[in-house]
């Protein structure tokens, strides 16, 4: 009806084409869209169970059109905004955030993205969410979103005094003589290659700001005045060009989330800065390889923080790795751990609270194990990547990781089985393989010259979607059976595939269609 109304009175092909393009690209600009369609669509919004769920939905409109939103990042932003404050523990808040995303998906207000663990908004739903966030369009500047490489002039900024949430994507900002008045601003998301710096004193009048996300920008220097934003709860500097953090950040005593992932140029974090952030719950420095990739000196400061319970950190020394294991506080808090170049480390004992594990170039490592009590499982671990550990014999501890989703093993020349049946380990075949790899979706095995089998027992891989096998000449058998129903891609050399031994040729016939020679 609305589309028909938009075409009413249009007689020439040019007028029709113009309106078709308008419907496709800017549906909110179509006459009748706000008063008619948005009010109908808003019924789904009105039926959402709680006020915080509605806030979480409206927040998704802050991202650009067709943007693939990381569920992890979205939930962390919600935590920073206070939408999940009814959950005092950050892991409970994450779980609640995941449930909200499922609810929004079920209500067709969000849809699954192309990438794993990403969501996106349909353009019309996004326009409706912005309309609602701006109080049915009555307060246009309550939420300001600028995208696609615009130059933002000073007179535009002067009109944003009442803005509560601002999203600047790949923009450049004109310098001005007077610092802008952002006294009502609670959220600033600023990303993109064009975002290299901010005008002088840009952050001076932000007395209410809770969330500041400058990630994925070309920012080289963090303005020291950010240290005066004492209301800040969330700061994300991931994938920026920043080399050091100013000591003034120690003033951010209300900060709950500090995210510094993939900061390749970060070399300096002042001593006693992190320990000054007394409200910190989440600290993430994952894949930031500055300071020789070893941030172990921060462990003591993190261990002193009362509320911190979610840590992601890279380590490069046996001493610091052992400290992370010996500390009860750190053992329970480190969720993502990257170990690289830990010379002399022969054994690594993992915490049962670990979620993501990466081990690179630990040339002396022979055994990875976990200290579990009777009946316990390695239930939180979801991703494992082991590369260039030539003495590592097996990964039998993964038999106790029932929720493992992704496993990648490369250049581990001593490994003959991923999960071994060696009786000395004290694990029976039934105990090993009852749930092993039952939810695994991605498996990559490369340059394992002595690998003979994944597991001596039978594994059906009921959830496996993709497997890659490269340069594993002795792996002659895959333990797939009729329960391997999700597999959609098998990547490997043609001669390896042709030489595999199959107990049931019908399984081979069934899977051949998914083989991709590499």
Torsion (CA) 486, 492, 496, 501 in degrees, nearest 10: -10
Residue entry with tokens 């589309």: 3
Across 84-88, 313-317, 471-475, 480-484, least confident range: 480-484
Q: How far apart are CA 248 and CA 302, in angstroms?
A: 18
Residue entry with tokens 């535009």: 156
Q: Which residues contact 259 (CB under 8 A, 6 or more apart)?
A: 76, 215, 234, 235, 236, 237, 238, 282, 284
Q: What is the residue-averaged pLDDT of the chain?
A: 86
**Residue 175: predicted pLDDT:** 81
Looking at the structure of the chain, the number of domains it has is: 1
Q: How far apart are CA 342 and CA 335, in angstroms?
A: 19
The H or E element that residue 345 is part of is none
What does the pLDDT average to over 147-173? Answer: 85
Greater confidence (238 vs 400) lies with 238
- Main-chain phi, psi angles of 456, to 5 degrees: -65, -30
Tokens standing for residue 33: 């869209």
Contact 22, 31 (CB under 8 A): no
**Residue 5: predicted pLDDT:** 37
* Residue 353 within any structural domain of the chain: no
Q: Kindly report the number of other CB atoms within 10 A of residue 27's CB atom.
A: 21
What count of Cα atoms within 13 Å lies in the side-chain half-sphere of residue 416?
4
Q: Kindly report the number of other CB atoms within 10 A of residue 123's CB atom.
A: 15
Q: How far apart are CA 472 and CA 453, in angstroms?
A: 10
Tokens standing for residue 194: 């064009």
Q: How far apart are CA 508 and CA 518, in angstroms?
A: 18
- Main-chain phi, psi angles of 479, to 5 degrees: -90, 45
Q: Kindly report the number of other CB atoms within 10 A of residue 213's CB atom.
A: 23
Report percent pLDDT > 90 for the chain.
Answer: 58
pLDDT band at 187 (very low <50, low <70, confident <90, very high): very high
Q: Kindly report the number of other CB atoms within 10 A of residue 260's CB atom.
A: 26
pLDDT in tens, 415-448: 999 998 765 554 444 344 467 889 999 999 999 9
pLDDT in tens, 95-142: 999 999 999 999 989 999 999 899 999 988 998 899 899 887 777 789
DSSP state of 32: T
pTM: 0.88
* Residue 473 within any structural domain of the chain: no
Residue entry with tokens 């400058």: 214
* Residue 401 within any structural domain of the chain: no
* Residue 385 within any structural domain of the chain: no
Q: Name which of 64, 61, 29 is nearest 45 in CA terms.
A: 61
- String of b and e for 78-96 (b: at least 16 CB within 10 Å)? bbbbbbbeeeeebeebbeb
pLDDT band at 378 (very low <50, low <70, confident <90, very high): confident
**Residue 461: predicted pLDDT:** 86
pLDDT in tens, 463-498: 999 999 999 999 998 888 777 889 999 999 999 999
Q: pLDDT at residue 390 above 60? A: yes
* Residue 95 within any structural domain of the chain: yes
Tokens standing for residue 276: 């000054």
pLDDT in tens, 22-80: 444 444 445 555 556 666 677 788 888 899 999 999 999 999 999 999 999 999 999 99
**Residue 294: predicted pLDDT:** 61
Query: E strands within 59-142?
Result: 69-70, 111-112, 118-120
Contact 144, 166 (CB under 8 A): yes
* Residue 109 within any structural domain of the chain: yes
Tokens standing for residue 151: 């130059």
Query: E strands within 367-458?
Result: 367-370, 383-387, 406-410, 417-419, 442-446, 453-455
* Residue 22 within any structural domain of the chain: no
**Residue 422: predicted pLDDT:** 60
CATH code of the domain in which 128 resides: 1.10.10.10
First to last CA, the chain: 52
Q: Which domain, by its residues, includes 79?
A: 27-135
Annotate 165-223 with DSSP letters as a single string. EEEEES-EE---SS--B-TT--EEEEEBTT-----TTTTTB-TT--EEE--SB---S--
**Residue 4: predicted pLDDT:** 40
* Residue 34 within any structural domain of the chain: yes
């Amino acid at each position: 009806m609305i589309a028909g109304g938009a075409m009413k009175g249009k007689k020439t092909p040019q007028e029709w084409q113009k309106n078709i393009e308008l419907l496709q690209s800017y549906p909110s600009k179509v006459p009748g869209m706000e008063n008619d369609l948005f009010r109908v669509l808003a019924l789904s919004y009105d039926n959402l169970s709680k006020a915080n769920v509605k806030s979480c939905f409206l927040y998704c409109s802050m991202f650009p059109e067709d943007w693939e939103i990381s569920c992890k990042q979205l939930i962390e932003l919600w935590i920073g905004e206070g939408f999940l404050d009814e959950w005092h523990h950050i892991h409970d808040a994450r779980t609640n955030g995941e449930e909200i995303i499922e609810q929004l998906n079920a209500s067709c207000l969000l849809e699954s993205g192309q990438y794993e663990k990403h969501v996106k908004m349909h353009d019309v739903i996004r326009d409706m969410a912005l309309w609602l966030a701006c109080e049915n369009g009555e307060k246009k500047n309550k939420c300001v979103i600028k995208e696609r490489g615009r130059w933002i002039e000073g007179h535009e900024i002067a009109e944003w005094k009442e803005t509560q949430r601002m999203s600047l994507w790949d923009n450049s900002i004109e310098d001005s003589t007077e610092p802008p008045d952002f006294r009502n601003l609670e959220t600033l998301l600023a990303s993109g290659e064009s975002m290299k710096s901010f005008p002088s004193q840009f952050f001076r009048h932000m007395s209410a700001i809770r969330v500041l996300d400058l990630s994925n920008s070309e920012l080289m220097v963090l303005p020291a005045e950010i240290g005066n934003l004492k209301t800040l709860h969330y700061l994300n500097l991931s994938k920026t060009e920043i080399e050091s953090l100013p000591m003034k950040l120690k003033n951010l005593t209300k900060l709950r989330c500090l995210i510094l992932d993939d900061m390749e140029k970060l070399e300096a974090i002042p001593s006693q800065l992190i320990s000054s952030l007394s409200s910190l719950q989440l600290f993430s420095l994952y894949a930031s390889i500055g300071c020789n990739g070893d941030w172990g000196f921060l462990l003591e400061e993190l261990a002193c923080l009362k509320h911190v319970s979610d840590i992601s950190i890279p380590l490069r020394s046996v001493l610091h790795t052992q400290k992370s294991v010996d500390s009860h506080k750190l053992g329970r808090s480190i969720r993502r751990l990257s170990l690289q170049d830990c010379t002399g480390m022969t054994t690594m004992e993992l915490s049962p609270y670990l979620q993501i594990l990466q081990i690179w170039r630990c040339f002396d490592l022979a055994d990875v194990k976990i200290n579990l009590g009777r009946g316990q499982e390695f239930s939180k671990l979801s991703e494992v990547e082991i590369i260039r550990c030539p003495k590592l014999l097996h990964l039998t501890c993964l038999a106790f990781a029932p929720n493992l989703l992704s496993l990648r093993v490369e250049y581990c020349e001593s490994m003959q089985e991923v999960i071994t049946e060696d009786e000395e380990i004290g694990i029976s075949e039934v105990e090993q393989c009852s749930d092993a790899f039952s939810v695994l979706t991605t498996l990559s095995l490369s340059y394992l010259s002595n690998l003979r089998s994944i597991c001596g027992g039978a594994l059906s891989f009921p959830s496996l979607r993709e497997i890659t096998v490269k340069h594993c000449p002795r792996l002659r058998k895959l333990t797939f059976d009729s329960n391997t129903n999700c597999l959609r891609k098998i990547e490997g050399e043609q001669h390896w595939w042709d030489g595999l031994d199959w107990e049931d040729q019908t399984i081979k016939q069934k899977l051949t269609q998914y083989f991709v020679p590499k």
